[in-house]
Amino acid sequence: MSGFWHWYVVLLTLLNIFGCFWLVRWATRRRSGEAAEGDVTGHSWDGLQEYNNPLPRWWLYLFYLTIVFSLIYIVLYPTLGNWQGIYGWSSTGQYEQEMERAEAKYGPIFAELAQKDVAALAQDDEATQIGQRLFLNYCSTCHGSDAGGATGFPNLADKHWLYGGSPEAIKTSIMNGRRGIMPPWGASLGDQGVEETAAYVMSLSGREVDSAKASAGKKHYQMMCVACHGANGTGNQALGAPDLTDSNWLYGGSPGAIKTSIRDGRNGVMPAHKEFLGEDKVHVLAAYVYSLSN
């Protein structure tokens, strides 16, 4: 924080605290001509009389106590701009301490589990329960608590894998993340070309389509799509290109969704968890994911 903002925060905070102190003192000061305590003030509304009954002293002292508390807090903890407080506390420091304690307690458990291969861990109930808790914490936001996925997020409980469903492939996906890019072809194909290509793509999975459109779309497919999805449309796991011959659609299999994919492209990002979780935890998590479809 720059010097200007440091002093801005300092002055604004202290002015507010001492302003509260002044306000309490001013509001409780007895004024000349004021009605005696317990007497009516002369104000009335709808037949109700206002009495001069000040706050109880204990309530007033609570206001002063909050002001004293705020001053003590300012001294002990980071509050005023760049001031770190006597304790030098920070949320980052507390997080790191908690992580160190957790690592000391649970690290040996994960290290021991990591000695087994993923396929073996997938048959271990205790290991999969630990992996499930990791999944619920770090993966369920995108893939769902049941790992069933959502539009744009793969279902991890079936046999359809963009990058392969072997233990090694799953672990690599979690460790290093994935980035799937489907380029947009709308500018190259035009509306009619998108329509024809979509018809051919739908025909690959046995759906009924306009044969003339599908025939024209096949030519577009062979020019634009075959490099990634293969001549038969069965995909390429090395590239993360999906199989177009089944009924499993990551972004939806309706004609409109398929046309959108062809016209506008798709960008899917799976973040890497290696640095965040560490290899031992990823190993256990991979075993749980592997167990879902095996």
Is 240 found in the same domain as 103?
A: no
Is 284 found in the same domain as 266?
A: no
Name the pTM for this structure. Answer: 0.75
Is 50 found in the same domain as 17?
A: yes
Split into its structural domains, the chain has a count of 3
Is 253 found in the same domain as 125?
A: no
Q: What is the mean pLDDT of the chain?
A: 93
- The neighbour count for residue 162, using CB atoms within 10 Å, is 22
Predicted confidence band of residue 203 (pLDDT cuts 50, 70, 90) = very high
The residue range of the domain holding 64 is: 3-26+38-76
What contacts 285, CB < 8 A, 6 or more positions away? 131, 134, 135, 138, 139, 174, 273, 277
**CA dist., res. 134 & res. 71, Å (int):** 42
- Rounded to an integer, the average pLDDT of 9-37 is 87
As to burial, measured by CB atoms within 10 angstroms (0-12 exposed, 13-18 middle, 19+ buried), residue 272 is: middle
For residue 207, what are its two tokens? 């759906």
Judge whether residue 241 has pLDDT over 80: yes
Predicted confidence band of residue 31 (pLDDT cuts 50, 70, 90) = confident
Predicted confidence band of residue 176 (pLDDT cuts 50, 70, 90) = very high
Q: What is the pLDDT of residue 183?
A: 96
**CA dist., res. 140 & res. 158, Å (int):** 16
107: domain CATH number is 1.10.760.10
Judge whether residue 178 has pLDDT over 90: yes
For the stretch 63-98, pLDDT in tens is 999 999 999 999 999 989 899 999 999 999 999 999
**CA dist., res. 126 & res. 271, Å (int):** 27
Predicted confidence band of residue 152 (pLDDT cuts 50, 70, 90) = very high
Is 263 found in the same domain as 242?
A: yes
- Rounded to an integer, the average pLDDT of 146-152 is 95
What contacts 114, CB < 8 A, 6 or more positions away? 279, 280, 283, 284
Predicted confidence band of residue 106 (pLDDT cuts 50, 70, 90) = very high
**CA dist., res. 276 & res. 187, Å (int):** 40
- For residues 201 and 38, which has the higher predicted lDDT (pLDDT)? 201
Predicted confidence band of residue 46 (pLDDT cuts 50, 70, 90) = confident
What's the length of the chain? Answer: 294
Q: What is the pLDDT of residue 43?
A: 79
**CA dist., res. 187 & res. 190, Å (int):** 6
- Rounded to an integer, the average pLDDT of 34-56 is 80
Cα 273 to the chain's mean position, in Å? 13
Q: State the sign of the Cα–Cα–Cα–Cα dihedral 6, 8, 13, 19.
A: positive
Is 72 found in the same domain as 8?
A: yes
Q: State the sign of the Cα–Cα–Cα–Cα dihedral 221, 227, 228, 234.
A: positive
Is 286 found in the same domain as 147?
A: yes
Predicted confidence band of residue 121 (pLDDT cuts 50, 70, 90) = very high
Q: What is the pLDDT of residue 288?
A: 98
Predicted confidence band of residue 145 (pLDDT cuts 50, 70, 90) = very high
Is 276 found in the same domain as 170?
A: yes
